[in-house]
Amino acid sequence: MDIQNETFGGTYPFKPNYTTVNGLRLHYIDENPKDNPSAEPIVMLHGNPTWSYLYRNFLPPLLQAGYRCIVPDHMGYGKSEKSLTREEYRLERKIDYFTGFMDHLNLSEITLIMQDWGGSIGLGYAVEHKDRIKRIILMSTWAFVFPEDVPEDTLPPLLRMCREPEIGETILLAYNVFVEGFLPLSIVRKEKISNQLMDAYRAPFPDYNSRVPTMAIQDVPLRSDHPSYPAMKAVQEKLNILNVPTCFIWGENDHVFPPDLVLPIWQEIYPHGEIHRIPRAGHFLQEDAPYEICEVIKNFLKKTS
């Protein structure tokens, strides 16, 4: 499959754009509403193992509402080039790649929509460029270290298995388990899972080496001796400098970041943030309830214009 020119049955009709960061070509969507080339930008960040395809249903309503929609594929994901050097997928490097991408676009008055690793990466950029950020919208994500006394067995069993050094590498790279298992397991509305959807998420990871980015689950720093702990802690310590309108949109059935457990942590950081809990939605709530979420987003944008 030539993923660069693939529209996946017309569900992904967007013109490709590219820029080069740290020697690798990164792909992104950049769509403007008609007759408004200076529209306010919304930048949408995916996590693991998804790519910009995750936000395909967000673009039409947000463009119609008058916003410029920018959706990058992180290095290693979607239509972006990959590094086979595993250290390049550490959080610190992911923030570097995203920062290089944002430097290329030179945006201001930015609304960031972030999910999964998108939160840690996007906020890693935002805390160093706070004057460019107008709003943040957080969905099933984190950007902080967890207390040392939180046992690893609080993670869903599949995620715990993927974090094991040897068996995790085998099932992630040989069996593509983050796409074949974790992704459909984490979509609550099973009627949304089609062959076309699965083909779109399989496309960036056709073989063993191409799946190295999905090992990001092993980069979640649960202990202070983890290589990415300092980078995550550095982001966390600066989160409160972002004094901007904030919105939390969470799936009621999120088993990765359960709302009753994770939202109170976020509320301590951003007590002014408004909260919306989406029924029958899980970790990949963009797949479960895209149109409901877009209504929430449009109302939030209007209130904070």
Torsion of CA 87, 92, 98, 103, to 10 degrees: -120
Residue 108, helix vs strand vs coil: coil
On whether the CB atoms of residues 108 and 183 are closer than 8 A, the answer is no
Phi, psi for 167 (deg, rounded to 5): -65, -35
pLDDT value of residue 151: 63
* C-alpha span between 250 and 267 (Å, rounded): 13
- In the block, residue with structure tokens 């802690």: 233
Residue 208, helix vs strand vs coil: coil
Sketch out the chain's domains with CATH numbers: 3-303 (3.40.50.1820)
Q: Is 224 left (phi over 0), alpha (psi -120 to 50) or beta?
A: alpha
DSSP string across 268-286: HH-TT-EEEEETT--TTHH
Q: 3 to each of 8, 80, 182, 216, how far by Cα in Å?
A: 9, 10, 22, 22
pLDDT value of residue 181: 96
pLDDT value of residue 152: 67
Tens digits of pLDDT across the chain (305 residues): 789 999 999 999 999 999 999 999 999 999 999 888 899 999 999 999 999 999 999 999 999 999 999 999 999 999 999 999 999 999 999 999 999 999 999 999 999 999 999 999 999 999 999 999 999 999 999 999 987 766 666 778 999 999 998 999 999 999 999 999 999 999 999 999 999 999 999 999 999 999 999 999 999 998 899 999 999 999 999 999 999 999 999 999 999 999 999 999 999 999 999 999 999 999 999 999 999 999 999 999 999 99
Residues contacting 175, CB < 8 A, separation 6+: none
* C-alpha span between 57 and 291 (Å, rounded): 7
CB atoms inside a 10 Å sphere around CB 287:
24
pLDDT value of residue 159: 92
Task: Note the pTM of the prediction, 2 decimals.
Answer: 0.97
* C-alpha span between 30 and 69 (Å, rounded): 6
Nearest by Cα to 112 from 40, 34, 5, 16: 40
160's tokens = 């715990």
185's tokens = 């397991």
Nearest by Cα to 64 from 223, 288, 303, 291: 291
> For 58-105, how does the pLDDT look when each residue is reduced to its tens digit (9 = 90+)?
999 999 999 999 999 999 999 999 999 999 999 999 999 999 999 999
